[in-house]
Amino acid sequence: MTTPAASSMAFLPALTSHESDASAERTYRTTASVVAVHFDGEGKGRIVFLPFGAVLHIMGRSSCLPEGFEVVFEHRRYNVFEIDVLARSTPIHEPIRSKCRFVAA
């Protein structure tokens, strides 16, 4: 007599495509003006528009905006909605640079 065996393979919840894209590509260039929120030292938020061509460095998930990212633009931190980063910007792919330099003979 045989008994059915259960699979030992575990299923782990996967990241959504947006989360995996954001973690893989950490720098974006805006293709249109993007709305962002800048919080000052007292915690007061101010809505600003980041310009076309702005280079955004994603620092991680926003603690202030649901479904948003904390980004750095011109040495200031802003909170931007995830959909704005993904829909109104393109990832910047920097070339991989070798730590060793070879000299041709």
Residue 28 lies in a domain: yes
- Terminal CA-to-CA distance of the chain, rounded, Å? 73
Residue 4 lies in a domain: no
3-class DSSP state of 32 = coil
Better pLDDT: 102 or 88:
88
pLDDT for 56-101, tens place per residue? 999 999 988 889 999 999 999 999 999 999 999 999 986 666 555 6
Distance (Å, whole) CA 83 – CA 22 = 11
Q: Which domain holds residue 80?
A: 17-91
Residue 21 lies in a domain: yes
Burial class (CB in 10 A: 0-12, 13-18, 19+), 37: middle
Could you tell me the CATH number of the domain that includes residue 73? 2.30.30
Residue 12 lies in a domain: no
Number of domains in the chain: 1
Q: What pLDDT does 104 receive? A: 60
Q: Are 30 and 89 in contact (CB under 8 A)?
A: yes
pLDDT for 40-54, tens place per residue? 888 899 999 999 999
Please, which pLDDT band fits residue 15 given cuts at 50, 70 and 90? Answer: very low
Q: What pLDDT does 77 receive? A: 94
Distance (Å, whole) CA 29 – CA 51 = 10
